[in-house]
């Protein structure tokens, strides 16, 4: 036996059998090291027993009382209370669940008039609210509609069966023989059909219609209706009818189609420009695209003047309404020019146009700009708030893509004005060559615009055709002098940094005293007649 094995035996020497002890003793007798270990273990036992055995303690009475208080005496109440509360809560929750599930399950078969029917409807509503998918929701709604009709049919069957079982009730369909307490209120939906015998059928259920609802029923024959009725004596009496929206009716009135906007006007304006002026309809937008090659159109020069703000537009308009200028003819000329040019070119298209200026034609926009500036300054203090409001409203209208003239005669009037202006321009302006250079150093040569083409979409900027006073449609009320009419200012909020077009309009041959000014749009949404110029 090796020493390590002997020492393990020495550690538990008292548990060894006699045979094992003889083997160990024989080894220890021949091995001094193992004999020393055996002696050390014996000393350990003596020391441990003497040292620790002498420290034996006796439990004190307070200690034992504490243990008993924490065990046998005290925990019974706490543990019992805790278990009792937990048991009560568990039983209550279980009972609630059982009751709820049972109620919901039983209510699924409930019919109108029963106490569980509201529970059934509430469960249906909850399920409907929890259905997020549109297709499933529609399907479930259709299921509910059919279920409501089926419920009415079942109620009818029950009432008729009960009436047949009672001997005193000969005709189950006789509502007069039915006691009032058997009347059940129902609500269902279905198409309203008038039967051959004059009766009404809603969703396949024959109904009686009360006189108050009879007129509605005659109106909505063939339409799906929602019905509030009373089932009594095996018959359904409709108390209230309400038409349901059909798919076509639900679509509502469709917005005006582009074709309607493109209708050509048939009425030519008859308002004389010398007697009144008409504010430009804010929604009148015509987009004119330039041709690939320049033409002998009246030349345009773009200026770097920033556009006025919306408030300035409105202020200018208000000021223009007050202004009575002696140069109404010149204003009309400028407006004439504007009407010819604005529909033709957008500011971006006009700006790089390289054509020479016509001296006489250039004077008109200058004077018009002067008048506009003066009007702006004077009117700012007077009608800032009102003008701002009007200008913003006008800008909103102009910003819409569906903006269109308020009058159907507008395109015709504009076309006439355009052709007239073109004729004037041909008479005064010398056609420019194709490779003409821009007058301004910043201008770039671009092809001249093509003849105006009307499009339903708004132009990229807030330019609109300016009416020739003589071509103002009759539906437009004259609201301002020709001078103010010419001061149509584009909304600056859209493109405040866009250079303002300074063009060289050609005065019409009918005007000898053109009013200076810049051809600008008047952003008045609802023109108001303030002063009628003297012809």
Question: Which residue do the tokens 């049919």 mark?
Answer: 153
d(CA 90, CA 87): 5
Q: Which residue lies nearer to other proteins by CB, 37 or 104? A: 37
183 contact partners, CB below 8 Å, separation of at least 6: 230, 231, 232
* Closest distance of CB 155 from other proteins, Å: 54
**Cα Rg, the chain, nearest whole Å:** 50
* CB-based burial label for 161 (10 Å; 0-12, 13-18, 19+): exposed
The per-residue DSSP string of 405-438 comes to -SSTTHHHHHHHHHHHHHHHHHHHSPPPPTTPPP
233 contact partners, CB below 8 Å, separation of at least 6: 159, 163, 172, 173, 174, 175, 176, 177, 178, 182
Q: How far is CA 507 from the centre of its chain?
A: 49
Q: Which residue lies nearer to other proteins by CB, 42 or 96? A: 42
- In order of 117, 287, 301, the CA distances from 440 in angstroms are 84, 25, 8
37 binds other proteins (CB under 8 A): yes
Partner residues linked to 278 by β-bridges:
478
The per-residue DSSP string of 510-533 comes to T-SSPPP---EE---SS-----PP
d(CA 276, CA 485): 10
* Closest distance of CB 81 from other proteins, Å: 14
Contacting residue, 2, 20, 33, 44, with other proteins by CB under 8 A: 44
Q: How many residues bind other proteins (CB under 8 A)?
A: 36
Q: Which residue lies nearer to other proteins by CB, 47 or 122? A: 47
* Closest distance of CB 8 from other proteins, Å: 5
Among 249, 446, 272, smallest CA distance to 346 is for: 446
Q: Which residue lies nearer to other proteins by CB, 53 or 211? A: 53
d(CA 53, CA 483): 125
User: Three-class SS of residue 192?
Assistant: strand
The answer to whether 522 and 314 are in contact (CB under 8 A) is no
* Closest distance of CB 18 from other proteins, Å: 17
Type and span of the H or E element at 239:
strand 235-243
Identify residues 147-176 at the interface with other proteins (CB under 8 A): none
Q: Which residue lies nearer to other proteins by CB, 47 or 81? A: 47
Q: Which residue lies nearer to other proteins by CB, 64 or 304? A: 64
* Closest distance of CB 151 from other proteins, Å: 52
Type and span of the H or E element at 347:
helix 347-350
Question: Which residue do the tokens 């009792």 mark?
Answer: 84
* Closest distance of CB 102 from other proteins, Å: 31
Pick the piece of the chain touching other proteins (CB under 8 A) from 45-53, 289-297, 368-376, 398-406: 45-53
d(CA 219, CA 197): 18
1 binds other proteins (CB under 8 A): no
Q: Which residue lies nearer to other proteins by CB, 21 or 494? A: 21
Q: How far is CA 467 from the centre of its chain?
A: 37
12 binds other proteins (CB under 8 A): yes
Identify residues 46-65 at the interface with other proteins (CB under 8 A): 47-60, 63-64
70 binds other proteins (CB under 8 A): yes
* Closest distance of CB 67 from other proteins, Å: 5
130 binds other proteins (CB under 8 A): no
Identify residues 288-317 at the interface with other proteins (CB under 8 A): none
Type and span of the H or E element at 194:
strand 184-194
**CA-CA-CA-CA dihedral for 383, 384, 385, 388, to nearest 10:** 120
Identify residues 341-400 at the interface with other proteins (CB under 8 A): none
* Closest distance of CB 158 from other proteins, Å: 53
Q: Which residue lies nearer to other proteins by CB, 68 or 89? A: 68
Contacting residue, 67, 85, 90, 291, with other proteins by CB under 8 A: 67
* Closest distance of CB 87 from other proteins, Å: 11
Pick the piece of the chain touching other proteins (CB under 8 A) from 9-17, 112-120, 211-219, 395-403: 9-17
Q: Which residue lies nearer to other proteins by CB, 74 or 291? A: 74
Contacting residue, 20, 33, 45, 174, with other proteins by CB under 8 A: 45
Pick the piece of the chain touching other proteins (CB under 8 A) from 5-13, 162-170, 244-252, 520-528: 5-13
Pick the piece of the chain touching other proteins (CB under 8 A) from 25-33, 39-47, 116-124, 515-523: 39-47
Q: Which residue lies nearer to other proteins by CB, 44 or 125? A: 44
Type and span of the H or E element at 241:
strand 235-243
Binding letters toward other proteins, positions 72-91, x by CB under 8 A: x--xx------x--------
d(CA 253, CA 163): 50
Contacting residue, 15, 19, 134, 181, with other proteins by CB under 8 A: 15
Pick the piece of the chain touching other proteins (CB under 8 A) from 71-79, 238-246, 269-277, 441-449: 71-79
- Site residues (CB under 8 A) for other proteins? 7-8, 11-12, 15, 37, 40-41, 43-45, 47-60, 63-64, 66-68, 70-72, 75-76, 83
């Amino acid at each position: 036996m090796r020493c390590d094995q002997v020492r393990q035996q020495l550690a538990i020497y008292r548990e060894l059998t006699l045979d094992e002890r003889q083997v160990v003793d024989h080894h220890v007798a021949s091995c001094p090291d193992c004999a020393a270990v055996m002696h050390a273990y014996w000393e350990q036992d003596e020391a441990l027993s003497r040292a620790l055995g002498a420290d034996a303690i006796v439990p004190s009475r307070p200690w034992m009382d504490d243990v008993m208080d924490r065990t046998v005496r005290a925990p019974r109440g706490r543990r019992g209370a805790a278990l009792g509360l937990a048991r009560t809560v568990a039983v209550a929750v279980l009972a609630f669940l059982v009751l709820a599930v049972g109620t919901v399950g039983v209510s699924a078969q409930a019919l109108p008039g029963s106490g569980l029917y509201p529970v059934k409807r509430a469960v249906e509503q909850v399920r409907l609210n929890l259905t997020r998918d549109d297709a499933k929701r529609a399907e479930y709604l259709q299921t509910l509609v059919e279920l409501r009709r089926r419920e009415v049919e079942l109620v009818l069957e029950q009432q008729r069966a009960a009436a047949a079982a009672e001997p005193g009730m000969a005709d189950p369909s006789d509502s007069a023989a039915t006691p009032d307490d058997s009347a059940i209120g129902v609500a269902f939906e279905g198409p309203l059909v008038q039967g051959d015998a004059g009766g009404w059928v809603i969703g396949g259920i024959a109904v009686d219609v009360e006189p108050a609802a009879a007129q509605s029923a005659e109106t909505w024959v063939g339409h799906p209706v929602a019905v509030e009725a009373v089932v009594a004596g095996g018959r359904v009496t409709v108390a209230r009818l309400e038409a349901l929206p059909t798919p076509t009716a639900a679509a509502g009135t469709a917005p005006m189609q582009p074709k309607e906007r493109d209708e050509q006007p048939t009425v030519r304006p008859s308002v004389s420009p010398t007697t009144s002026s008409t504010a430009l309809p804010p929604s009148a937008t015509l987009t004119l695209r330039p041709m690939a090659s320049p033409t002998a159109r009246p030349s345009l020069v773009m200026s770097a003047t920033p556009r006025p703000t919306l408030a300035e537009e409105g202020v200018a308009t208000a000021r223009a309404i007050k202004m009575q200028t002696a140069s109404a003819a010149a204003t009309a000329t400028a407006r004439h020019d504007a009407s010819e040019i604005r529909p033709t070119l957008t500011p971006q298209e006009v700006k790089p146009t390289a054509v020479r200026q016509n001296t006489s034609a250039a004077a008109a926009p200058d004077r018009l700009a002067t008048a506009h500036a003066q009007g702006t300054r004077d009117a700012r203090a007077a009608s800032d708030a009102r003008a701002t409001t009007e200008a913003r409203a006008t800008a909103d209208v102009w910003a819409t893509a569906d903006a269109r003239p308020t009058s159907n005669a507008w395109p015709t009037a504009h076309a006439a004005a355009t052709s007239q202006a073109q004729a004037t321009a041909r008479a005064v302006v010398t056609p420019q060559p194709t490779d003409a250079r821009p007058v301004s150093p910043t201008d770039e040569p671009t092809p001249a615009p093509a003849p105006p083409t009307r499009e339903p979409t708004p132009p990229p900027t807030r330019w609109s055709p300016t009416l020739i006073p003589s071509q103002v449609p009759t539906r437009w009320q004259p609201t301002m002098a020709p001078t103010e009419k010419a001061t149509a200012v584009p909304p600056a909020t859209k493109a405040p940094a866009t250079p303002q077009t300074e063009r060289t309009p050609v005065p019409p041959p009918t005007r000898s005293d053109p009013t200076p000014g810049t051809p600008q749009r008047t952003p008045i949404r609802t023109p108001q007649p303030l002063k009628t110029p003297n012809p």
